[in-house]
Amino acid sequence: MLKAQETVLEIDLKKLKHNYKYLKSRVNKDTKFLAVVKAFAYGNEASEIALCLENLGADYFAVAYIDEGVALRKAGVTTPILVLHPQAVNFNVLIENNLEPSIYNTKILKEFLEITSSENKQNYPIHIKFNTGLNRLGFWQGDVETIKNIIGETKSVSIKSIFSHLAASEDLNEKTFSLNQIGTFKAIAHNFEEIFGFKPMRHMCNTSGILNYPEAHFDMVRSGIGLYGFGNSEEENKHFKPIAALKTCISQIHHLEKGESVGYNRAFKSESALISATLPIGHADGLGRIYGKGKGFVTINGKKAAILGNVCMDMIMVDVTNISCEEGDEAIIFDGNATAETLAEAANTISYELITSISQRVKRRIIRV
C-alpha cells in the first residue's frame, strides 16, 4: 500500500465486495438487495461504488436527492434508483433520468401525478413510504384508502413498492418498539393488498434490520452503513471490513517548551516540553472541531497521537512527544484498525457523521477489485 504524501481517502472495493457478500449471505436468495449510496456513498465515492455494486448484482440503489441520482446516471449506472426524499421542483429532472420517487404524503403524490399525467407517462414506477414510528417522512397507517382515492384509475404511475424505516433496529433494548413497527407495516401491507387488489414489493430493513430482524426482510432489504464496513454492534463488526482509510502526512514538527501554546485561541498550553506535528487536514476536510482538545487522535507509526488544541480549517497539530517520527511520515486518521467508529466514539458521535463529513476536496484513491 502506498504511503500517503498528502491527505487522501483510500477506498478499497475488495472490502466493499466482502461486505456486500456477507450481507447477502444473511438474506434469502430470493430477497432483493438495495444498496444505499446517498451522500457520496456515505462520504466515499458514489459512482465508483455504485458501478462496483451493480457489477456484483445489486438490484436497486437509493439516494436521498434527485441530483445524486442524476450523477449516477451520468456515470453509467443503469440499475433502478430510488430517490428517498425527492422535491417536487425537480420532478422533471427525475423523470428525464428515469429515477423512481419515494412518495411520502398527499401533496407530493398529487404533484407527481400532475406531472406524469401532463407528460402522458404510462406506469411510471413510484414507491409509497409509510411512517411506522420514525416520525420523519411517510403516510400513516390509515392513509391507504386515501392514496387509492387520489390515484384513482390513472395509468400514469405504477406502485412498485411500499416501504417503511425501522427507528432503532440496532438497539435491542428497543426490540419491542421495532417489533411493533414490523407488525404495523405488515398490517399496512395487508390492507394495501386488499384495497389495491395487488401485492407490491415490500421493504423495511436497514443494515441492523437485516442482522437483527430476519422476519422483516420481506421482498427487499436496504443497506448503507453495512456496505461501508460497520455492523452497528461489536459482535457484528467482526464480519465487516471498513472500506475507507483516511490518511495524511506530517508537514512540520515543532519542539515546544513548557508554557508554549498550540493553535487558535491558545486552546492547548504545554505543561512540559513536548513535540508536536502539524498535519494537512482540518474541519474543512471533515475532521470537525469536536475532535480537538485531546478528544480525537491519529495514528503515526502504530502509536496514537492526540490532537492538540482546536482543529483548524486546514490543519491539526498532534502530540508526537513519545513517537519516533519525522516530517513526511504518514498519519492515519482512520482505517480498518483504528476505525472511524472508534474515533467517532472518542468525540461522542457516530461513524455515520464522521465518514459522511469527509470533504470533496480530499483526494479519493480507488483500490479496485
Domains of the chain: 31-228 (3.20.20.10), 244-367 (2.40.37.10)
pLDDT above 80 (res 369): no
What lies within 8 Å, CB to CB, of 247 at 6+ separation is: 4, 7, 8, 9, 10, 330, 331, 332, 333, 335
Q: Write the pLDDT tens digit of every residue in 127-166.
A: 999 999 999 999 999 999 999 999 998 999 999 999 999 9
Give the pLDDT score at 239.
96
Mean pLDDT of 88-93: 97
Nearest to 345 by CA among 227, 230, 216, 262: 230
Q: Which of 14, 107, 175, 264 is catalytic?
A: 264
Q: Using an 8 Å Cβ cutoff, are 318 and 5 in contact?
A: no
Q: Distance between CA 361 and CA 357 in Å, rounded?
A: 11
Q: Which of 24, 38, 129, 247 is catalytic?
A: 38
Q: Using an 8 Å Cβ cutoff, are 358 and 288 in contact?
A: no
CB neighbourhood size of 212 (10 A): 20
Q: Distance between CA 195 and CA 184 in Å, rounded?
A: 16
- Residue 170 DSSP label: T
Annotated catalytic residue 186:
no
Mean pLDDT of 359-365: 97
Q: Write the pLDDT tens digit of every residue in 19-32.
A: 999 999 999 999 99
Mean pLDDT of 182-201: 98
pLDDT above 90 (res 2): no
Annotated catalytic residue 264:
yes
Q: Whole-number mean pLDDT of the chain?
A: 97
